Amino acid sequence: MSFNEFNATKSTRSVLGGVYDVTVTGTYFLYSGRKRAGLLNCGKLIHALKQVKVFIIGTNEPCTSFRGQVVAIAKDRLEEEEDVWIMAPERTIVYEPRLVSLLEKYLPADRYKYVCYYEKSCGAVMYTETDGIRKFILITNISGHIGFPKGHIEIGEDEEQTALREVYEETGVKTQLIKGFRESYNYLINGFIKKKAVYYLAHFNAEDVKMNIMEISEYRLVTYEEALSILNFKHDRDILTKANEFIDSRKSDS
């Protein structure tokens, strides 16, 4: 379970996604590796009678004032420094790996952690077939949610790389994603963090499964009908149905 899901406070909840006016005090170049990756405008604003330090990303030129949306809050792991708000133009979607990559020089990852307004996880619907019986892997995570193997996207990964890594970390299976299947849905965590879940499709051999108990609390290998009755949420059941239909369509085309 992510930091977001366990540690978002009421004050953070009231700020993330909010639109504020900022007084800009300085502008610097951002780099990703050795490549220039835009500008970082720094500034301040007053919130709840306190001055807040602000970093602004996603702008193409220096500015003296800015109005935008809070996309993340950087928190000092040692709790010695005040929070830093990360802001961007309204409706800009940015995920934590991008923030870590851009802001490492100013907010070192070993010192700061982020509570982000937007999150993305990638994974796969995994199935096997033995003697004509198709079965799927369902994962129970530490929160009790039953779903498919998935996890947060990390620095330098695309969606497919994240899905394959998470499948391996949670099931021990090294596999390949089946071309032509990608489904996603959006939902809210704690009623305010906007989460996107992306799923691919992968085949596996049952004997290859080596579940990692440090990653999950339980797994099940079940038929399609059993999975439909077990999955917690409708959007997961919809993903499963689409995956099952896709597998059938591949068989009929072969």
Model pLDDT, residue 6: 45
Of 173 and 8, which is predicted with more confidence?
Answer: 173
- What pLDDT score does 126 carry? 95
In a domain, 1, yes or no: no
- Counting residues of the chain whose pLDDT is more than 70, the rounded percentage is 91
Q: Is the pLDDT of residue 66 over 70?
A: yes
Hey, is 1 helix, strand or coil? Answer: coil
Asked if 153 and 68 sit in the same domain, the reply is no
Question: What's the whole-number mean pLDDT along residues 140-169?
Answer: 90
Asked whether residue 198 falls in the same domain as residue 142, the answer is: yes
pLDDT at 71: 97
4: in domain? no
Asked if 205 and 249 sit in the same domain, the reply is yes
Residue 70: Cβ-neighbour burial (10 angstroms; 0-12, 13-18, 19+) = buried
Contact call for residues 145 and 230 (beta carbons, < 8 A): no
Domain that holds residue 243: 119-253
Q: Tell me what pLDDT residue 5 has.
A: 42
Kindly state whether residue 180 falls inside one of the protein's structural domains: yes
Note whether 61 and 182 are same-domain residues. Answer: no
List, in order, residues 6 or more apart from 209 with CB less than 8 Å away.
Answer: 137, 171, 172, 173, 219, 221
Q: Which of 74, 101, 116 is the last residue of a domain?
A: 116
Give a yes or no: residue 3 inside a domain.
no
Q: Is position 57 within any domain?
A: yes
> Which of 5-9, 29-33, 131-135, 140-144 has maximum average pLDDT?
131-135
CATH at residue 238: 3.90.79.10
Type of residue numbered 141: N
| Nearest to 175, CA basis, from 202, 195, 193 | 202
Question: Which residue do the tokens 């790996």 mark?
Answer: 97
C-alpha–C-alpha distance, residues 228 and 246, integer Å: 16
Average pLDDT over the chain reads 88
Residues 129, 249, single domain; the answer is yes
Burial class from Cβ neighbours inside 10 Å (0-12, 13-18, 19+) for residue 252 reads exposed
Q: What is the pLDDT of residues 163-175, one digit of tens each?
A: 999 999 888 889 9
Q: Count how many domains the chain has.
A: 2
Note whether 112 and 128 are same-domain residues.
Answer: no
Q: What is the pTM of this model?
A: 0.84
pLDDT at 1 over 50: no
Clarify whether residues 176 and 109 are in a common domain: no
Residues 108 and 132 in one domain: no
At 241 the pLDDT is 98
Based on the fold, state whether residues 92 and 147 are members of the same structural domain. Answer: no
Among 31-40, 175-184, 199-208, 212-221, where is mean pLDDT lowest? 212-221
Q: Are residues 176 and 227 in the same domain?
A: yes
pLDDT band at 205 (very low <50, low <70, confident <90, very high): confident
How many Cβ atoms are within 10 Å of 251's Cβ, its own excluded? 9
Domain boundary among 116, 141, 160: 116
105 and 146, same domain (yes or no): no
Q: What is the pLDDT of residue 10?
A: 63
- Token look-up 């109005």 returns 67
* 239 neighbors 183 (Cβ within 8 angstroms): yes
Query: In the numeric block, which tokens belong to residue 33?
Result: 């590796």
Distance of alpha carbon 12 from alpha carbon 19, whole angstroms:
14
For residues 118 and 110, give the distance between their C-alpha atoms in angstroms, rounded to a whole number: 21
- Structural domain includes residue 58: yes
Max CA separation in the chain (angstroms): 68
In a domain, 6, yes or no: no
Domain end (from 116, 141, 166): 116
Note whether 236 and 174 are same-domain residues: yes
Evaluate whether residue 5 is within a structural domain.
no
Q: To which H or E segment does residue 96 belong?
A: helix 96-103
